[in-house]
Every structure is written in structure tokens, then in C-alpha cells.
Amino acid sequence: MKRIISILLAAGTLLVSACGGKTAASKEPPVLTGDWKETGDKSAYHYAIITGNTIEIYAQSADTRSLYWAGTFIPPETAEEPYTWTSEADRTKLDRALFGSQSNSKDFTYEKGILSYPYSIMGVESIRKLEKVSDTPSEEKMVSTVTVTEAQLLQPEVLEVGGGFRSKTSSYLQFAALVKNPNKDVTMQFVHYTVSVKDASGKVIAVNESVSGELLPGETALINGQLDVSSGVPADIQFTAVCNKRDFMTKYSVIPSDQFYFRGVSVAEKQSNLSIIGTLLNNSNTYTSSAGVQALFRKNGRIVMVSNTYISNVKPGETPFELRVYWDEPDFDTVELFASDAAEYSHEENSAYVPETNPVNENVIKYTVSSAPVQGGSASASLAAPEENNASDFETFKKKLDDYEAFFDAYCEFMKTYDSTDPAQVTKYVELLGKYTEALNGINGLNASEMTAEEQAYYMEVMLRISQKLQEVTNN
């Protein structure tokens, strides 16, 4: 029947052409702009938004949404199917997304109303298929540019910057800076940071540039990292923060900047490390799947170290936490804690919790006088000489690597049965990511050039075993 209809239509076309001199109108190309949802009845699924020349894909479940892909979109110019295009990744967005794809490009196919693309996680590949659910992109999921003039936009303020050594022989300088968004109604979606270190003569011996995630109106964030300063002896560090005009956005996150508070925080000293223990208060009715906690260590007001961890499933009310510090910590007299929403999106939750009015934030374990803020988007500080640190014996060295390997044992065992469509397992996966940060902190500072022959041999043995275990998970 289909073949006969096609022939009749063709004949009809010839007839019209012969009588009136007109040709049949060509079929229009499909319009792909809008919202797309993964086919099938699933509790966890992919959700795509196509607008203009961009496509974004989110991993969506009942109470979480995480960015998986952000890249270019090329609209079809003909009605020919299948239609394919290669999307170039927006690494600025993906690099700060917890579950962002590591690929620099992705091939998409549209055919018979279905949008499909390859999806891979831990070596397991599949094809995701989405169907259109709306012709209009969801504005609530999009970020709109502010309408205020450039003169009304305030640049980020660098309130303080500092750095310190973990050991005298280490070639890495750890730095930290407090950066504030002084705008009342504007979110800074991307902030560009530049860190430079100079020696006593003023020569630059290390530079690093990075882009960090959003700063909500009035929010102060703790930015930290480390630089290789093996080419000289650092004497001064400068930290600069700048936000481009196009990256000033209207406030769209549901997480307020004053949502988190700390209670009952203390330092618990243990045999091989110390822990910061306390309770994180989520003073709202908003649930977040992951919150980041950072500890800023000071000595006589000077920043000497920063450590961090993640807390999963932070519901309204109080959630206990523990932040472990595995490396040989420097001498300090104050610990100051910071918390932020680490999930790509958070959602309202019906809860009986009643937010407190003017809660006290017990985030400083020992009080010290704070330095005066530095205005203008940059700050610099003189650096103290490296601190003495006795070399650890083999047993201490071995324990750090054993703890590191133990994490991968747990990780590989979990990944054997991991199901990315199961919200409970996705939550467990997020918890493992937080523990990975702790495990990595445990071996930070190990320098192959400083290891004994025995330590080097054991280091290679552990790393080989870990590599083999990861390969087994990938093969299965």
C-alpha cells in the first residue's frame, strides 16, 4: 500500500506541474529546539535542552539533576534523515560539573522523532534515546543574562590570600584565597582566577590560571590549590579574581548563600592524622545531594593549609560530618570552616523542619583577629620560610599507600554492580567521590625523588595493583 500511495503522489505532482506550472512544496527540516526526555518509564533518566546553537544534557532523578553534557548544536538544513552532527564540548561548564563528560566531542543522531547519542561510564557504553516533550526550552533550567549596565556590576573582591609549605623539601606551595561576590542580586557564573608567585628579587617563578564555579550574591568562597615552585624560593604570592561581563547572571540557584552553618566543631587528634568533627546545619527546606566542606588552617593569622571533603544527602536540619587530614599538618592555632552546595542542582523538599532565625555559625574553632579586607579584586602576601618536617619512617609511608589502595578496593567492588539508573547507587557513587578526595590527600606530598629504595619499590607495587584492579572493572 505504501508503494502505491507513493506512485500516486508522484503522479499527482506531475499533474499539478503540467497544469499550473507549479511544483510541490519541499518538506521543511525538523525543528529540534526544545526539551527532550529519555524514552521509557525510568526513575533516573537523561533530559536535554536545545536552544539557539547549544545543547545541554542532565542526568535527572527524583531529587537530583547533574550536568552531563554541554556543547554546540547545529540545526538541520534539510528534512533528510537520519540527521547527524558532532557537538563540540563546552569544557568551561563540563570541567566544573561533578558528572560532566570527559569527551571533547559527541556525535548526535536524529531520526523518526528520536534523538540519540552514545553514553559511556567506566568503560560501559550504551545508546541513550530521547524524545521531544516541549517545543520551548525550559526557562527555569536556563540561565538568563542580567539587564543591568556594566557600570552597575561589581567585580569580585579578594578579601585575603596566603600560602604555606607542607614540608621543607616539598616543591609544591599550597595557597588559599577568600573571594566575595559583592553584588546583591547578581550571580557570578564563572570567575577567572590568576595566582602568581615571586621570589625575593621579584622574579615570577610560578603562575596558574583557572575558572571556578558560581558565586551567589553576597557569598564568600574559599579557593585553594597548589603550585610547583621548584624553580625558586617563593617570597610573595598574588591572587587576582575577575568576572567577564557575559558571566554576570541573574540569580537562578535555589540555594541561598547563607544556608549552611556549623555546630559543635572540634579537632580530634588520631595516631596518623587528625579529624575535624562537627555538625553541618542546613537551615532551609532545600535538599542538596552533595555539600562541600573546607577547613582553613591558620597560624598567628597566616594561612598555612586547606583541606576539604564532601557530605552526601544533606537534608534540612543537622548532618554530622568528619573531615580527615592525612598529610603531616603544619603547626596551626585556628581552624575556620566553609560550606557550599556542591550539587549541580538542588530541589525543594517537603519537610517539617522549621528554619532557625539568626542561627549562630560556630565555624571557627579558635578565635583570632581577622585581617582587614583587600579591595579591588586582588591580594598579595609575603610567604614565610618552609617549615621543618621530619621524614616519616617506612611504616608511616606504607600506611598512607595502604589506605589509598583500600579506597580503590572498595571502589572497584562497588563498580562491579553499579547501576547509573538507580538513585541510591548514584548517591553512593557521590559518596565515593568524596572519599577519593580524602584518599588522594593521604598521598599528596609524596615525592619520588625523596623516597628510599624500599619506599619506591612499595609505591610501584601498590600503583600496579591499583591499575590492574581498575582494568578488571573496565573489562567486565
> Residue 445: which pLDDT band, with cuts at 50, 70 and 90?
low
Dump pLDDT digits (tens) for 216-235.
888 888 888 888 888 888 88
Residue the block writes with cell 568503560: 123
Dump pLDDT digits (tens) for 21-39.
444 456 889 999 999 999 8
> Residue 14: which pLDDT band, with cuts at 50, 70 and 90?
very low
Query: What pLDDT shows up at residue 236?
Result: 86
Category of 155 on φ-ψ map: left (φ > 0), alpha (ψ -120 to 50) or beta: beta
Pick the residue with more confidence: 73 or 358?
Answer: 73
Q: Is-above-0.75 flag for pTM?
A: no
Query: What pLDDT shows up at residue 446?
Result: 66
Query: What pLDDT shows up at residue 144?
Result: 36
Does position 164 have pLDDT exceeding 80, yes or no?
no
Q: Angle, nearest 10°, between helix axes 423-443 and 394-415?
A: 160
Dump pLDDT digits (tens) for 74-105.
999 999 999 999 999 988 888 766 567 888 99
Q: What is the mean pLDDT of the chain?
A: 75
Residue the block writes with cell 541513550: 128
Of 164, 190, 430, 184, residue with least CA distance to 304: 164
Dump pLDDT digits (tens) for 206-221.
898 888 777 888 888 8
